[in-house]
Structure 1
Amino acid sequence: MARVAFIGLGVMGYPMAGHLAARGHDVTVYNRTLKKAEAWVAEHGGRSAPTPAMAAEGQQIVFACVGNDDDLRSVTIGDGGAFETLAADAIFVDHTTASAAVARELDAAARTRSAHFIDAPVSGGQAGAENGVLTVMCGGEAEPYARAEPVIAAYARACRLMGPAGSGQLTKMVNQICIAGLVQGLSEGLAFAQKAGLDGEAVLEVIGKGAAGSWQMDNRGKTMLADKFDFGFAVDWMRKDLGICLEEGNQNGAALPGTALIDQFYKDVQRMGGGRWDTSSLIRRLR
């Protein structure tokens, strides 16, 4: 069992840290809103710390799951950040969906302390975090990854090292690019089925067993037909992620015309008041 800290107890971090405690790890938590940290300790045990630096002190592995690049810098290299006390040979595992550039920046910063950094964004959403079945895409060095992987397994069903620092974030970008295209295609198909007078659920049942089948179809098709979107991965978060993808594409020369277009479709959904709707709400534009 490991001595660990978890920084950021949002909809993902709260249950992820809970799985670590359930596996018997010694967990210290930090959250910007103290009441959330106190609630976590009341539910799972362990302890809370008033700053990221105090949470990280003396830990073998420090996990984080925050909002964006700036939030991540704040809890690592900012005043009172975890890197102030990160021990030599300790591992910082970042589950934030952020840029590859900030992953490389923090990898370099960790090295100045003789510590290790792993960028480890996740896929699977809130349900995956709560059920401990996330997919984790990692960037970093092999030796610290090998030490961290058995601990990450507390909330992951798949975890893989994809390459050096930044590779986890780049892989997550591929994931989001693919999801955007799948959801738009599913939205158009289901809207077409309804306009054509077909039984949408019957359509899903038959084509879902063929080449068109996907996780999105299996898990979001029926709720899209029912016009239900008050759950899941929010449009606001998806736009943040797609912005990261588009910026990286501009830098590495990758053409992302479909992604750029679907990003604008999500902007339309935001204008409709759907910033917190599930990403499957793209179909709303077509009704």
Structure 2
Amino acid sequence: MTATIAPRSYEPCASTPVAFLGLGVMGAPMAAHLAAAGHQVTVYNRTAAKAEQWAQQFGGRHAATPREAVQGARMVFCCVGNDDDLRAVVEGENGALAGMESGAILVDHTTASAQIARELYVQALQRGLHFIDAPVSGGEAGAVNGQLTVMCGGDEAVFEQAAPVAAAFSRAFTHMGPSGSGQLTKMVNQICVAGLVQALSEAIAFGLRADLDVNKVLDVIGKGAAQSWQLDNRGKTMAVGKFDFGFAVDWMRKDLNLVLEEAQRNGARLPVTALVDQFYADVQAMGGNRWDTSSLIQRLR
């Protein structure tokens, strides 16, 4: 099994030939929701066996290169690891841009830099194509349940064309502004998450030291001003040292590096974010590279 998805109902939308590039923890279920919604899906993955397995499981097609995968697609979705991975599947003679038909839309769900988003937007326009940067929030559970929050940058008219198709895997698909705005919004999201997880780590560690019933504490404060997604979904697992969830420390450090580089460019002051980034480096040094980001609490035990 390459992916699982939770059953859900879909808004009516005309069946569209689409391609999906990148079948990792997020991409595989996102592509599966597109297929379940009735779209004609062709997939590509760097490890070809994953694409073959996905096609067998969900009934789509697989292709050997991004260029082959996007042929005939009116919309191309992409979800890979970083800027370099994105260039590898989009640019070059075997990349997506070389194979897309005039007027087609490339929607990139990679958490990447705002700079590469703007570069690919220009490259797409030069080829008679369209580009939307559209990083996601919601983690593996959001992808499996088809309930991702998607932050989009690019031309609003193009966004409006993509939105009905992307509804297959999203609960909110929102236009944030011109090219790069989606990536910048995701950076705001990660700044918030970093601070929340550190504060929650300190709170739970304090509660344990104070010999409180931490589960009961979390239930109580979760009904007040301290409530957050992190508290609701990670608080009790943090208390017992369970970190086998989808969003790894390595990925968070990659995201925070993007944030801190952008802050250097725009002059934003992010002292807490920079500190939490170093705390995540401590977790990596403990061997927690693939632990969930809630593993920040391990530094405090």
TM range (shorter): over 0.9
Contact in 2 for aligned 1:4/1:62 (Cα 8 Å): yes
Quote the Cα distance in structure 2 between the aligned partners of 1:89 and 1:159. 21
Corresponding position of 2:47: 33
Amino acid aligned to 2:27: G
- Segments ≥4 residues shifted beyond 3 Å: none
Quick check: 1:109 aligned with 2:111? no
Quote the Cα distance in structure 1 between the aligned partners of 2:126 and 2:220. 57
Quote the Cα distance in structure 2 between the aligned partners of 1:231 and 1:22. 25
**What percentage of residue pairs aligned between the two structures are identical?**
67
Quote the Cα distance in structure 2 between the aligned partners of 1:57 and 1:192. 56
Corresponding position of 1:141: 155
Unmatched tracts of structure 1, length 5 or more: none
Quote the Cα distance in structure 1 between the aligned partners of 2:242 and 2:76. 37
Q: 58, 64, 67: which one pairs with 1:53?
A: 67
Quote the Cα distance in structure 2 between the aligned partners of 1:203 and 1:73. 47
Contact in 1 for aligned 2:25/2:246 (Cα 8 Å): no
Quick check: 1:150 aligned with 2:152? no
State the SS of the aligned residue for 2:41.
strand
Amino acid aligned to 2:148: L
Taking the TM superposition and a 5 Å limit, the aligned residue runs for 1:24-103 are 24-103=38-117
Quick check: 1:280 aligned with 2:288? no
Quick check: 1:229 aligned with 2:239? no
- Displacement of 1:205 after TM fit? 1.0
Contact in 2 for aligned 1:5/1:61 (Cα 8 Å): yes
Corresponding position of 2:224: 210
- Displacement of 1:197 after TM fit? 1.3
Contact in 2 for aligned 1:87/1:113 (Cα 8 Å): no
Quote the Cα distance in structure 2 between the aligned partners of 1:87 and 1:230. 41
Q: TM-score, length-normalised on structure 1?
A: 0.99
Q: TM-score, length-normalised on structure 2?
A: 0.94
Quote the Cα distance in structure 2 between the aligned partners of 1:14 and 1:182. 28
- Displacement of 1:121 after TM fit? 0.3
Corresponding position of 1:262: 276
Corresponding position of 1:199: 213
Quote the Cα distance in structure 1 between the aligned partners of 2:103 and 2:245. 40
Quote the Cα distance in structure 2 between the aligned partners of 1:123 and 1:209. 23
Amino acid aligned to 1:35: A
- Displacement of 1:78 after TM fit? 2.6
Contact in 1 for aligned 2:71/2:101 (Cα 8 Å): yes
Amino acid aligned to 1:192: F
Corresponding position of 1:163: 177
Quote the Cα distance in structure 2 between the aligned partners of 1:232 and 1:192. 26
Quick check: 1:126 aligned with 2:140? yes
Contact in 1 for aligned 2:250/2:290 (Cα 8 Å): yes
- Displacement of 1:23 after TM fit? 0.5
Corresponding position of 1:186: 200
Unmatched tracts of structure 2, length 5 or more: 1-14
